[in-house]
Amino acid sequence: MTDQLEEIKSKIDIVSFISEYIPLKRAGRNFKVLCPFHTEKTPVSPERQIWHCFGCGRGGDIFGFLMQIENLEFPEALQILAKRAGVKLVTSWEASERAKLKEKIFKVNHLASEFYHYLLTSHRSGKQALDYVLGRGVSKKSIETFSLGWAPNLWDCLTRFLTKKGFPLLDLETAGLVVKSEGSHYDRFRGRLMFTLRDHRGNVVGFAGRTLEPKASEAKYINTPETPIYIKGNVLYGLDVTREAIKKEDKSIIVEGEFDLISSFQAGVANVVAIKGSALTEGQVGLLKRFTQNISLALDTDLAGDEAARRGIEIADSAGFSIKVVKLPQGKDPDECIKASPSLWQKAVAGAVPIFDYFLDSAVARFDRQTAEGKRKIGDEIIPILSKISNPIVQSHYLSKLANLLSVSEEVLAAAAKKIAKEEEVGVSSQIVSLSTQASRKELLEEQLLSLILQGEDPAELISNDKWQISNEFFQGARRKIFEKLQDFLKKGKKFKIGEFAKILPAELVPTVDRAYLVDLGKILDDKKLFNRELEKTTLEIKKIFLKKRLLSSAEKMKQIGRKRKELTILTKEYRQAAAELKKCQANE
């Protein structure tokens, strides 16, 4: 199996693979990508075929990337990548119980979707619902594309169908399709128009059911409860259909409901997703980031007055999105606007305004900026929003714009924004720091030196050059072992290749080498003078720390041996040599 894993990795380039999810940029010998799990830039190595984020600590090869970004277990990722690479697996890999359960739910959901769709399109029980859908302007083609369906108002219609197909009641209950009550089971969705919810890969993860009764006492919409494959905040309705249009336009229009999305799709604006609510979640933002960094919000809610919506905007802004707002010229939602005129919708989308301009315009329209009280109200609403802008240039732009609108000092507004930001930082744990900041200064210098050696043009020349006098004493722990292995490797006279070197290392040392090789050295690698200066500075700092440690050790030993003359003479000589070397190092600073 190990040979087949290596064969799969050799046939799928990690740079090309990751770029299908998120854009990469060349950075020296490596590539950089915005980490899909938070907002820090992450290096990807085409030579090592690995990635590693120094912020959140995640990393690995193509298998690890696919598992984390798609929330898969190893057997699932193996099957997908083997198929892509054209490798026929000779050994089966036993799926975990969790993976088996997920596969069961996918299958039962798929069958339920087909059942609901058949009842809507081909059975007399769905005629009223079909007339309703067609009457709302949904085409038959869209009914097929988005797998709309009908759940009849019967207690166990779906239950009987699926159990006859061999699915046990426990699986139906786990999938959220049936509800258990006092020892019996009944269908969760009854008398409802059904919207099939799929993940971006097209798997059916759940359903949303809409009642067609205008005076119904129950909720207008009900959704599949949380299951092993469905979390509402991680799903974007329609993305499986619209993802290519979003990539092509490099922009996604965000709407609230299913009808909004379908109407937009039919009106020619296909780069659209529905969030099924008024606020973007972290899961949805992370999903969108794979396809675009530009979004336009076309939500039913008043963004300025909706705290949840504003929180979603903050999440998107922190993730680096460019955010705009679509102002509807007619109707309360995109569906109504499109019914009035598809061209109005198209023009509104094209004319979307930046989100922070929208907030400013909204506040200025509602309060009198000519009075002190009006200015206070505008400031109270807008400054907290501007204080959360992640980009300092964008923040400065809007603080300046607000200052001009209110005819007040920009410095006053900047101070107010800074105060709000500081107040919100109170209580944030100072323990949340990256692994690198927890390390000692000596460890950081060792990591830097190892990175310089491994990424340098000629590691053999660096190690053998008397100018740098690099020895194993410069390193500790795993880094010392790596340096000693590197010395042995280079003695064979082979040209250094990181992949060949990694193969001879014990497995426990490989992650340390990979991290060092992925450190972004920026312009240092392109400028030999700059590289030599950085190498000299790093080796000098390590020498100073090493010599200070030797001085302290010698001084401590001198205290312990008392008046033993011979030993004292030797230690005194060692102390003076170390002190002289340290003085020489300090003179070279």
Confidence label for 275 from pLDDT (cuts 50, 70 and 90): very high
| CATH of residue 482 | 1.10.860
Q: In the predicted model, is pLDDT for residue 63 greater than 80?
A: yes
d(CA 295, CA 239): 14
Residues in CB range of 472: below 8 A, 6 or more apart: 480, 483, 484, 487
Q: What is the pLDDT of residue 347?
A: 97
Mean pLDDT, residues 500-504 taken together: 88
Q: Which of 129-133, 479-483, 510-514, 535-539 has the highest mean pLDDT?
A: 129-133
Number of separate domains in the chain: 5
Q: Write out the residue range of the structural domain in which residue 16 sits.
A: 2-85
Mean pLDDT, residues 193-216 taken together: 94
Q: In the predicted model, is pLDDT for residue 427 greater than 60?
A: no
Confidence label for 207 from pLDDT (cuts 50, 70 and 90): very high
136 with 217, same domain: the answer is yes
In percent, the amount of the chain with pLDDT more than 70 equals 92
- Report if residue 259 sits inside a domain: yes
25 with 75, same domain: the answer is yes
116 with 23, same domain: the answer is no
51 with 112, same domain: the answer is no
**Phi, psi at residue 22, to the nearest 5°?**
-145, 145
- For the chain, the average pLDDT equals 87
49 with 74, same domain: the answer is yes
Residues 523-545 have pLDDT tens digits of 788 888 888 888 888 888 888 88
Question: For residues 246 and 291, is the Cβ–Cβ distance under 8 A?
Answer: yes
Final residue of a structural domain among 181, 208, 230: 230
Between 435 and 299, the more confident residue is 299
- Report if residue 562 sits inside a domain: yes
Q: In the predicted model, is pLDDT for residue 369 greater than 70?
A: yes
Report the Cα–Cα distance between both ends of the chain, in Å, rounded. 54
Final residue of a structural domain among 85, 107, 128: 85
Q: In the predicted model, is pLDDT for residue 166 greater than 70?
A: yes
472 with 547, same domain: the answer is yes
193 with 245, same domain: the answer is no
Q: Which of 505, 473, 470 is nearest to 489 (CA)?
A: 505
Q: Which of 245-259, 512-526, 550-564 has the highest mean pLDDT?
A: 245-259
| CATH of residue 58 | 3.90.580.10
| CATH of residue 295 | 3.40.1360.10
Mean pLDDT, residues 76-89 taken together: 89
- Report if residue 362 sits inside a domain: no
- The sheet carrying 192-198 orders its strands as 149-151, 192-198, 204-211, 221-223
Q: What is the pLDDT of residue 162?
A: 97
Q: What is the pLDDT of residue 297?
A: 95
Final residue of a structural domain among 197, 230, 263: 230
Q: In the predicted model, is pLDDT for residue 470 greater than 60?
A: yes
| CATH of residue 113 | 3.90.980.10
